[in-house]
């Protein structure tokens, strides 16, 4: 997946400087929306015709709120990284943050399930290495099932796709997906941790490469037809990447 040029702006707040990325979103009405992502980056979604000076005023007006959330994000990062695979840690699944609960149960080889806002891992062996393996196997299984269903649904809605393309799971350190010259999609299983609109964006991005195997203007026009707000969704995914790709 490629990247586009980011429209970065900044304001002063006391002795600090708040940097934020502006995303002009099609069909957005009059107000701007400010998002502070888990990595502490700030994204501002604005209507297509909004002037930068007006957007800056809106950010300045909420600067105290923004700084508070940036601090919370940085505090969370310190709590989450690096992983120790013990109860109390935070993990993501389809955009929601869950608390890990590790239960030591004699005779249980290993199970993972979602239960009341927690990811429950139950096993006789609760060593970090084993809990990590159980979690990763669970994520991969969930990813394979969810991506398969989404690709089937997308294929039915995209007129130039006659059938669901060949695809596979491939763990990557920095990429969410790729498309080979032969048209085989590779999707990072870590992506299942992201919000559903971000998953949809990545799948559509890679499917567009079946038509345009580059990042030409035609590619981005095709992508915009399928997901007009792709820049905003991509910025959201970029802001979560460090936590989602972390093992």
pTM: 0.82
For the residues of 187-233, what is the DSSP string, one character each?
Answer: E-GGGGGS-HHHHHHHHHHHHHTTT-SS--HHHHHHHHHH-TTHHHH
Written as six digits, the tokens of 41 are 């980056």
The pLDDT tens digits for 125-143 are 999 999 999 999 999 999 9
Burial of residue 239, with CB atoms counted within 10 A of its CB: 0-12 exposed, 13-18 middle, 19 or more buried: buried
The pLDDT tens digits for 55-92 are 999 999 999 999 999 998 888 777 666 789 999 998 99
On whether the CB atoms of residues 108 and 120 are closer than 8 A, the answer is: no
pLDDT grade, residue 1 (50/70/90)? Answer: low
The pLDDT tens digits for 204-240 are 999 999 999 899 999 999 999 999 999 999 999 999 9
Which residues is 44 bridged to in the sheet?
Answer: 22, 34
- CA–CA distance, 29 with 68 (Å, rounded to integer): 27
Written as six digits, the tokens of 203 are 């799948």
Does the CA dihedral 35-36-41-42 come out positive or negative?
positive
- Which helix or strand (DSSP H or E) is residue 168 part of? strand 167-169
Does the CA dihedral 196-199-201-207 come out positive or negative?
negative
Which residues is 6 bridged to in the sheet?
Answer: none
pLDDT grade, residue 3 (50/70/90)? Answer: very low
Torsion angle of C-alpha atoms 48, 52, 55, 57, degrees rounded to 10:
-160
pLDDT grade, residue 49 (50/70/90)? Answer: confident
Residue 41 has pLDDT above 50, yes or no: yes
Please state the rounded mean pLDDT for residues 100-108: 95
pLDDT grade, residue 198 (50/70/90)? Answer: very high
Structural domain boundaries in the chain = 7-78, 89-245
Number of Cβ atoms within 10 Å of the Cβ of 52: 12
Residue count (the chain): 247
Which homologous superfamily does the CATH classification assign to the domain defined by 89-245? Metalloproteases ("zincins"), catalytic domain (3.30.2010.10)
Does the CA dihedral 63-64-67-73 come out positive or negative?
negative
pLDDT grade, residue 2 (50/70/90)? Answer: very low
Contact residues for 190 (Cβ-Cβ < 8 A; gap 6+): 139, 171, 176, 244, 245
Burial of residue 53, with CB atoms counted within 10 A of its CB: 0-12 exposed, 13-18 middle, 19 or more buried: exposed
Distance of CA 214 to the CA centre of its chain: 22
């Amino acid at each position: 997946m490629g990247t586009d040029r980011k429209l970065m702006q900044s304001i002063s707040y006391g002795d600090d400087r708040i940097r934020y990325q502006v995303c002009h979103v099609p069909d957005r009405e009059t107000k701007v929306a400010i998002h502070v992502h888990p990595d502490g980056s700030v994204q501002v979604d604005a209507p297509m015709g909004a002037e930068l000076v007006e957007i800056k005023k809106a950010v300045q007006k909420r600067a105290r709120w923004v700084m508070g959330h940036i601090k919370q994000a940085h505090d969370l990062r310190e709590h989450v990284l690096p992983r120790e695979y013990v109860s109390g840690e935070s993990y993501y699944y389809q955009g929601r943050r869950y608390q890990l609960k590790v239960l030591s149960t004699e005779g249980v080889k290993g199970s993972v399930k979602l239960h009341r806002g927690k990811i429950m891992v139950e096993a006789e062996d609760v060593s970090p290495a084993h809990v990590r393996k159980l979690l990763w196997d669970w994520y991969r299984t969930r990813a394979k099932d969810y991506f398969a269903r989404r690709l089937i649904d997308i294929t039915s809605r995209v007129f130039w796709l006659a059938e669901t393309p060949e695809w596979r799971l491939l763990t990557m350190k920095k990429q969410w997906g790729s498309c080979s010259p032969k048209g085989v999609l590779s999707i990072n299983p870590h992506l299942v941790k992201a919000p559903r609109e971000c998953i949809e964006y990545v799948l559509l991005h890679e499917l567009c490469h079946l038509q345009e195997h580059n990042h030409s203007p035609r590619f981005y026009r095709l992508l915009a037809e399928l997901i007009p707000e792709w820049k905003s969704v991509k910025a959201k995914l970029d802001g979560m990447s460090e936590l989602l790709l972390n093992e």
